[in-house]
Amino acid sequence: MDRQVISMIHKIERGELTELDLTYLVQYIASYLDLRTISDTAKLRGKSFNGIKNHTDKVMIGTKKFIINNKHDSKVKNN
């Protein structure tokens, strides 16, 4: 992790960010990564749900699995 991420984690732990601040941060990151559920990704790509589920890298956030659909070079690989 780089220094900016560690700094943000410390701010969160010290309570320097409000719940609204954190909500905006999560929304921004989700938008940047173009996070979508398996179902939404299947619709977006015109593929079957099972095809996406079985052949695409997923990330767990909370209790949900998401697909990163952005065009950026993602280093996240987590099934």
Asked whether residue 67 falls in the same domain as residue 46, the answer is: yes
Q: In the beta sheet, which residues pair with residue 37?
A: 66
The total domain count for the chain is: 2
For residues 38 and 57, is the Cβ–Cβ distance under 8 A? no
User: What residues make up the domain containing 21?
Assistant: 1-32
7: its two tokens:
């700094």
Asked whether residue 26 falls in the same domain as residue 48, the answer is: no
* Per-residue pLDDT reduced to its tens digit, 27-57: 999 999 999 999 999 999 999 999 999 999 8
> Would you say residue 79 lies in a domain?
no
Asked whether residue 24 falls in the same domain as residue 38, the answer is: no
> Would you say residue 39 lies in a domain?
yes
- pLDDT band for 73, please (50, 70, 90 cuts): very low
Asked whether residue 49 falls in the same domain as residue 62, the answer is: yes
Asked whether residue 40 falls in the same domain as residue 67, the answer is: yes
